[in-house]
């Protein structure tokens, strides 16, 4: 039983391989009457494109999104919204090298074992390119969140060991790393360049903050808001850990240090990260994702071929040094999908008047 659909009410189904004809998403359950144009979505897709020659491949991906259904005269109609992005320069490339060799850290081996067949070109469905469809869907979710004045912002908290010293949301779009600290961004650039020269790659941490989320979202006991966010973020390719609020640090605090005292003005602190008992408490929601380094590296590694014979691999070519900057808008998109879905879910929970 496949798993390419996300959400219960605001339901998103993505499709498409890295080097197939196109990729896309069908959004079922978007309320009618919302303004929606291709340029709204294009904006978010453009943010996902690599901005820095140092972190990323120079590959040009136009990623032009087209709305095929679900809108009429610029407004959503309540019917399924189908979005498509054609893979324009896909066919020209050759991926014969990875056809018969399993790349360490990649899904080559597991896809082969699961399905007995795989589209090896560019990683097929396991490619990071799949996340373009998530970002496009997230842009539609934004339309719902904007009406409620819920703002979701993601940024790079740490890259290749360089951590930001402070969080200035204004700085995020002024550097190619989406770092909320321009000085840290300079250091990130240097570090990434160095790693690139060594033929290696780097990981980091993305943080997402949600301002303006009303109390009451999240569905105990299994579809709690933190559980859903954890799934959403962990479903992004390179993520290996998810934290809410104080996160891993909770393990070493005392109750008196971890509880957020409540005052008539609100919570005195926000160790909970805006979620109590799986339900948003009205405070800022804080989620963090640890991102592993890009698996494709030039440094030689041991592996096996399709006959399980030992060999080595050195992945050359236009590969990113770190997935972190590209994952920033994807994290934003996934958090938006969760919130849009839970806003609509909460409509069915509200006490009838």
Of 163-192, binders to its own copies (CB under 8 A) are none
Q: Which stretch binds its own copies (CB under 8 A): 45-53, 91-99, 169-177, 200-208?
A: 200-208
Question: What residues pair up with 197 in beta bridges, in sequence order?
Answer: none
Rounded to an integer, what distance in angstroms lies between the CA atom of residue 323 and that of residue 338? 22
Rounded to an integer, what distance in angstroms lies between the CA atom of residue 229 and that of residue 244? 9
Rounded to an integer, what distance in angstroms lies between the CA atom of residue 348 and that of residue 343? 9
Shortest separation between residue 228's beta carbon and its own copies, angstroms: 7
* Sites for its own copies among residues 8-47 (CB under 8 A): 8-9, 11, 13-17, 20-24, 26, 28-29, 31-34
Q: Could you tell me which of 151, 190, 178, 184 has the C-alpha nearest to residue 166?
A: 184
279 binds its own copies (CB under 8 A): yes
DSSP helix/strand/coil, 312: strand
DSSP helix/strand/coil, 205: strand
- Identify whether the C-beta of residue 230 lies closer than 8 Å to the C-beta of residue 273: no
Structure tokens at 335: 């958090």
Residue 113 Ramachandran class (φ > 0 left, ψ -120 to 50 alpha, else beta): alpha
Nearer to its own copies, 52 or 201 (CB): 201
Structure tokens at 230: 């954890």
Query: How many residues sit close enough to its own copies to count as binding (CB under 8 A)?
Result: 152
Taking CB under 8 A as the rule, which mask of x and - marks residues 293-332 in contact with its own copies? Answer: xxxxx-x-xxxx---xxx----------------------
Nearer to its own copies, 170 or 252 (CB): 252
97 binds its own copies (CB under 8 A): no
Nearer to its own copies, 339 or 344 (CB): 344
Shortest separation between residue 191's beta carbon and its own copies, angstroms: 11
Nearer to its own copies, 158 or 189 (CB): 158
Residue selected from 92, 96, 170, 348 as contacting its own copies according to rule CB under 8 A: 348
């Amino acid at each position: 039983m496949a798993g390419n659909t996300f959400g219960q009410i605001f339901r998103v189904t993505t499709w498409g391989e890295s080097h197939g004809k196109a990729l896309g998403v069908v959004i079922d359950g978007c309320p009618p009457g919302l303004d929606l144009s291709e340029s709204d979505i294009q904006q978010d897709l453009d943010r996902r494109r690599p901005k820095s020659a140092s972190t990323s491949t120079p590959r040009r991906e136009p990623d032009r999104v087209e709305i095929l259904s679900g809108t009429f005269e610029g407004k959503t109609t309540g019917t399924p919204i189908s979005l498509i992005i054609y893979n324009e320069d896909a066919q020209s490339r050759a991926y014969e090298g990875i056809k018969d060799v399993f790349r360490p850290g990649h899904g080559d081996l597991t896809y082969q074992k699961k399905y007995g067949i795989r589209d090896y070109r560019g990683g097929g469905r396991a490619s990071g390119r799949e996340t373009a469809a998530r970002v496009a869907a997230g842009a539609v979710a934004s339309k719902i969140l904007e009406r409620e004045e819920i703002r979701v912002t993601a940024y790079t908290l740490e890259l290749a060991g360089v951590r930001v010293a402070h969080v200035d949301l204004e700085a995020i779009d002024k550097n190619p790393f989406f770092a909320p600290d321009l000085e840290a961004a300079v250091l990130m650039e240097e570090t990434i360049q160095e790693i690139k020269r060594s033929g290696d790659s780097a990981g980091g941490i993305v943080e997402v903050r949600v301002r303006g989320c009303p109390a009451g979202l999240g569905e105990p006991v299994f579809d709690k808001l933190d559980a859903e966010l954890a799934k959403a973020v962990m479903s992004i390719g390179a993520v290996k850990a998810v934290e809410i609020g104080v996160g891993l640090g909770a393990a070493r605090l005392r109750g008196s240090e971890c509880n957020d005292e409540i005052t008539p003005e609100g919570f005195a602190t926000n160790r909970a990260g805006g979620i109590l008992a799986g339900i948003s408490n009205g405070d800022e929601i804080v989620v963090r994702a640890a991102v592993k380094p890009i698996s494709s590296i030039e440094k030689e590694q041991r592996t096996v071929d399709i006959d399980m014979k030992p060999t080595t691999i050195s992945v050359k070519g236009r590969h990113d040094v770190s997935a972190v900057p590209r994952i920033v808008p994807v994290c934003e998109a996934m958090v938006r999908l969760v919130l849009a879905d839970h806003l609509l879910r909460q409509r069915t929970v509200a006490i009838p008047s």
